[in-house]
């Protein structure tokens, strides 16, 4: 059997064999020791008599397999992560007893030990196909089943799952020594949960440990009372207590908003949110028990952008209870039915049901920029992506599936009308409740309510790759008052994805408000645009405004190119625009021109620095800082780069000093400044050490734990703090987070010895958790020193085959992205990358996609550097 990488064909064939009803009884024993746990699974299912199929299971050892009363030899039946089930009956019962392994990589059942108190925390993460790391299972989304879970755990632990607890039974035995870490051995218990509704295996979940807990309830729209809970590590209890009422309130607002918008009340028995350590993703939508990364528990000051992202994440996972959980895609090619909907609707809910009213500006600056970036790589794919196997699925949790998909859904709402759209969603949810659906099923319901033929729309928007560019063409009349003679929108497409799409969009007219000096919208035209050129008839004869904004309100998904007058006005006056979403759309367009080599890097930097002085939308601010940094270190003329970097650092320091005391802007600017240090810059070292020891004070800027580590990391990055000093800082307060900060700081030191240590640690140290590995890898590649980075170009490409063979997918992805020596000479990177690709034509598609993304980033760097060097 082929093993762990299930293909779509195999899944379709198994779906034809395995028949409903399917029921699992899963019993886990978490008290056997620190490495392994016992998994006993009994599955009842139907089939055609005499056929053969298989179960998925990743386990150290299978102790026994019993099929329909007959014992199977595990040495024969269990191979390549699969259990062969031959000669089936019409109704079948199979029981598998296996010893499975805890992970430290955030896959399967993750086991984390908190160094601050010795407490052990476990949680599961099963998307895409990692339920098979915990129990034997038909691990594909369209083989929905009901589940009974029971867990043996230490008496003092909290154990949670998708459903409420049915009973807890004390046991007359103790935990195996070592299970409880630094705590004494104790008695055990068996926790039995209620039977789940019909659901997909990847949405099942188990969490266990001495979590801190809070409880409330929600009066559901169907008359039920839904119990709600939140959990986190004991070390984060005080920080969580400050925010728990707020987070409960956000969640309840989400319940009400979604029930009203879709006409379907929350469908499950309870709703838990458990904040867990060392998480691979932002969160996971397990039915009734969402897991969320506990970096969202704020023990130190964070940006408003991150605080808002937490709200969007909470609402995103709640939206999945309907999109993805209640109705699930049949196969992973329709992953967007989960993620695009959750991303779109969580932004909508954030903007309309919470205090974060500028959420669409946040979406434009953050999510949409992510989609635009990935959609211009050769590795782009349709929103409805071709998924041939599980490895294809892994790499599609990306900016296309999330951000582009959500942006296109916003366009679809504009295209069919909001009321008709949500009427269609109501019909879709009701028709496919607790089952699986496809794109065709969704379109059928939307066509029924909107009256629009969506087949062509879907083919153009969802089933083909690439992004269009919308260019404003303008002819104005002479005379005392300049007027528009003709305004046209010209739509183009890249050669490799030559598709023109229909757009519903708006054109905003912007002028100065004499009373305030702000640039405000004074007129707006909304229209349908299709084909290569659309004349905006309604604009003819109107006075020419100071600025014309195509795609006002960000209704569609497209690149923008302004008319010459508007472009110059934006460069000179971005900081004066009154509307947060308008600024975000303009800023993103200027950034897109910069990375396409159409706008001088120094001009983008100058416009952005000026706009930072007045910008208050936190995510726009955050992404502008990132875009400035990328422009400085990768796109500027290399001959002028050091000078430009010094100038930007000085400007950021000035802006931080001038910002309002304690403000989000001050905090972001100070953090950004700390990333601009270079070895030998005594002024930088003095400023950083001054902040650390209190000699330099920015009024209102608190040097709390995380900011202290930002300074330590900055000093290490310029070789002004030794490993011993970093380790001493860690010893003073050793926590899960601070271990990661310390590893990252050591990896950032700009010496050959430090880089060699970091490179080898990330690759070979299997004891590093996923979060620690990422900290080391990202620290390794963070030093803007060409010579240091050049030494790792060949080493990086020589290790790719080993990484792919020896690491799980998520860890391979972290290494391939994190260890890529991005500051090396782009020519060397491109040559080495193209050579590797040329010699690996038969490599796994997912691996090649990751390598291509790196190489094409370096190719872009080459092109844009050449453009700016020629100016």
Q: Where are the domains of the chain?
A: 1-210, 211-322, 328-461, 468-556+558-599
Measured CA to CA, the distance from residue 538 to residue 527 in angstroms comes to 9
Task: Supply the DSSP symbol for 364.
Answer: I
Given a contact cutoff of 8 angstroms between Cβ atoms, the answer to whether 574 and 583 are in contact is yes
User: Count of CB atoms within 10 A of residue 788's CB?
Assistant: 19
Query: What's residue 394's pLDDT?
Result: 83
Measured CA to CA, the distance from residue 321 to residue 94 in angstroms comes to 30
First vs last C-alpha separation in the chain: 59
Handedness of CA 574, 579, 582, 584 (dihedral sign): positive
Paired with 151 in beta bridges are 28, 191
Per DSSP, the chain holds a count of helices (H) and strands (E) of 29, 29
User: Count of CB atoms within 10 A of residue 478's CB?
Assistant: 7
Which residues, at least 6 apart from 398, have a Cβ–Cβ distance to it below 8 Å? 374
Measured CA to CA, the distance from residue 465 to residue 273 in angstroms comes to 36
Instruction: Using CA atoms of 157, 162, 166, 168 in order, give the dihedral in degrees to the nearest 10.
Output: -10
Backbone angles phi and psi of 734, in degrees to 5: -90, 110
Q: From the options 3.30.9.10, 2.60.40.10, 1.10.390.10, 3.30.1390.10, give the CATH code of 328-461.
A: 1.10.390.10
Measured CA to CA, the distance from residue 136 to residue 74 in angstroms comes to 13
Query: What's residue 701's pLDDT?
Result: 97
Measured CA to CA, the distance from residue 822 to residue 694 in angstroms comes to 34
Query: What's residue 303's pLDDT?
Result: 98
Given a contact cutoff of 8 angstroms between Cβ atoms, the answer to whether 466 and 499 are in contact is yes
- Does CATH place domain 211-322 in 1.10.390.10? yes
| Total count of residues recorded for the chain | 871
Provide CATH code, domain 1-210: 2.60.40.1730
- Angstrom CA distances, 160 to 124, 194, 270, 487, 618, stand at 11, 11, 11, 60, 35
Backbone angles phi and psi of 577, in degrees to 5: -70, 135
Task: Dig out the tokens for 693 from the structure.
Answer: 């020891």
Task: Dig out the tokens for 19 from the structure.
Answer: 């028949």
Query: Of 127, 285, 308, 317, which residue is the catalytic one?
Result: 317
Per CATH, 1-210 and 211-322 having the same topology is answered no
Q: Residue ranges of the chain with pLDDT lower than 50?
A: 1-2, 183
Query: What's residue 354's pLDDT?
Result: 98
Task: Supply the DSSP symbol for 185.
Answer: P
Query: What's residue 2's pLDDT?
Result: 40
Tell me the pLDDT of the chain averaged across its residues: 95
Query: What's residue 179's pLDDT?
Result: 62
Measured CA to CA, the distance from residue 295 to residue 283 in angstroms comes to 11
Element housing 718 (H / E): none
Measured CA to CA, the distance from residue 322 to residue 262 in angstroms comes to 9
Measured CA to CA, the distance from residue 111 to residue 106 in angstroms comes to 8
Q: Is 834 a catalytic residue?
A: no
């Amino acid at each position: 059997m082929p093993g762990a990488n299930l293909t779509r064909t195999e899944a379709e064939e198994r779906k034809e064999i395995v028949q409903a009803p399917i029921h699992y009884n899963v019993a886990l024993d978490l008290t056997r020791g620190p490495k392994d746990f016992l998994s006993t699974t009994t599955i009842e299912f139907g089939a055609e008599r005499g056929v053969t199929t298989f179960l998925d299971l990743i386990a150290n050892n299978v102790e026994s397999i019993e099929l329909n009363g007959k014992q199977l030899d595990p040495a024969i039946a269990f191979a390549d992560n699969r259990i062969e089930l031959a000669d089936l009956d019409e109704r079948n019962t199979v029981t598998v007893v296996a010893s499975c392994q805890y992970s430290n990589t955030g896959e399967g059942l993750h086991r984390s030990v908190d160094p601050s108190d010795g407490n052990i925390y476990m949680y599961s993460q099963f998307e895409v196909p990692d339920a098979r790391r915990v129990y034997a299972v038909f691990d594909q989304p369209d083989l929905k089943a009901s589940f009974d879970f029971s867990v043996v755990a230490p008496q003092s632990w909290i154990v949670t799952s998708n459903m409420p607890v049915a009973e807890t039974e004390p046991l007359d035995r103790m935990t195996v020594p070592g299970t409880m870490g630094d705590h004494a051995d104790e008695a055990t218990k068996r926790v039995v949960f209620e039977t789940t509704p019909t659901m997909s295996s990847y949405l099942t979940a188990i969490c266990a440990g001495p979590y801190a807990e809070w409880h409330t309830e929600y009066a559901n729209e169907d008359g039920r009372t839904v119990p709600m809970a939140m959990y986190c590590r004991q070390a984060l209890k005080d920080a969580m207590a400050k925010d728990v009422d707020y987070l409960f309130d956000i969640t309840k607002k989400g319940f009400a908003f979604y029930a009203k918008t879709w006409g379907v009340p929350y469908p499950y028995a309870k709703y838990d949110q458990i904040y867990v350590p060392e998480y691979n993703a932002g969160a996971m939508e397990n039915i009734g028990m969402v897991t969320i990364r506990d970096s969202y528990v704020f023990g130190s000051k964070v940006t408003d952008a991150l605080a808002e992202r937490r709200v969007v994440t909470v609402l995103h996972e709640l939206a999945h209870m309907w999109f993805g959980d209640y109705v699930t895609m049949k196969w992973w090619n329709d992953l967007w039915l989960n993620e695009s909907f959750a991303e779109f609707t969580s932004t909508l809910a954030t903007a309309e049901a919470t205090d974060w009213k500028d959420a669409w500006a946040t979406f434009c600056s953050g999510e949409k920029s992510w989609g635009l970036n990935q959609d211009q790589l050769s590795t782009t794919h349709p929103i409805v992506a071709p998924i041939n196997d599980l490895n294809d699925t892994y790499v599609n949790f990306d900016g296309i599936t999330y951000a582009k998909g959500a942006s296109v859904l916003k366009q679809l709402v504009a295209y069919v009308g909001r009321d008709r759209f949500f009427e269609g969603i109501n019909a879709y949810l009701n028709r496919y409740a607790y089952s699986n659906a496809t794109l065709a099923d969704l379109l059928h319901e939307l066509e029924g309510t909107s009256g629009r033929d969506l087949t062509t729309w879907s083919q153009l928007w969802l089933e083909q790759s690439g992004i269009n560019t919308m260019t404003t063409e303008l002819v104005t009349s002479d005379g005392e008052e300049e007027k528009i003679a003709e305004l046209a929108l010209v739509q183009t497409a890249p050669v490799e994805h030559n598709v023109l799409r229909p757009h519903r969009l708006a054109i905003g007219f912007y002028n100065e408000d004499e009373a305030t000096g702000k640039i405000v919208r004074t007129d707006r035209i909304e229209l349908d645009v299709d084909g290569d050129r659309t004349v905006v008839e309604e604009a003819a004869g109107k006075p020419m405004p100071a600025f014309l904004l195509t795609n006002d309100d960000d209704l569609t998904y497209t690149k923008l190119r302004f008319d010459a007058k508007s472009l110059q006005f934006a460069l000179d006056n971005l900081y004066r625009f009154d509307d947060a979403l308008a600024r975000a759309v303009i800023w993103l367009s200027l950034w897109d021109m910069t990375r396409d080599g159409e706008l001088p890097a120094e001009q983008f930097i100058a416009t952005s620095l000026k706009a930072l002085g007045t910008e208050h939308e936190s995510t726009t601010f955050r992404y502008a800082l990132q875009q400035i940094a990328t422009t400085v270190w990768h796109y500027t003329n290399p001959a002028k780069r050091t000078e430009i970097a010094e100038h930007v650092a000085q400007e950021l320091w000035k802006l931080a000093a001038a910002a309002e005391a304690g403000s989000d802007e001050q905090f972001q600017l100070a953090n950004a400044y700390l990333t601009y240090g270079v070895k030998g810059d005594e002024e930088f070292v003095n400023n950083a050490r001054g902040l650390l020891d209190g000699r330099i004070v920015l009024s209102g800027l608190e040097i709390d734990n995380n900011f202290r580590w930002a300074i330590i990391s900055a000093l290490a990055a310029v070789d002004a703090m030794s490993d011993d000093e970093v380790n001493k800082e860690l010893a003073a307060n050793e926590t899960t987070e601070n271990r990661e900060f310390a590893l990252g700081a050591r990896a950032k030191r700009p010496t050959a010895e430090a880089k060699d240590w970091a490179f080898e640690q990330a690759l070979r140290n299997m004891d590093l958790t996923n979060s620690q590995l990422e900290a080391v890898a990202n620290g390794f590649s963070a030093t803007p020193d060409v010579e240091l980075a050049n030494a790792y170009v060949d080493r990086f490409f020589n290790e790719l085959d080993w990484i792919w063979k020896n690491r799980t997918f998520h860890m391979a992805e972290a290494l391939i992205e994190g260890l890529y020596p991005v500051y090396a000479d782009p020519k060397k990177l491109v040559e080495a990358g193209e050579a590797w690709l040329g010699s690996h034509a038969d490599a796994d598609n997912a691996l090649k996609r990751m390598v291509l993304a790196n190489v094409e980033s370096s190719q872009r760097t080459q092109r844009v550097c050449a453009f700016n060097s020629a100016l």
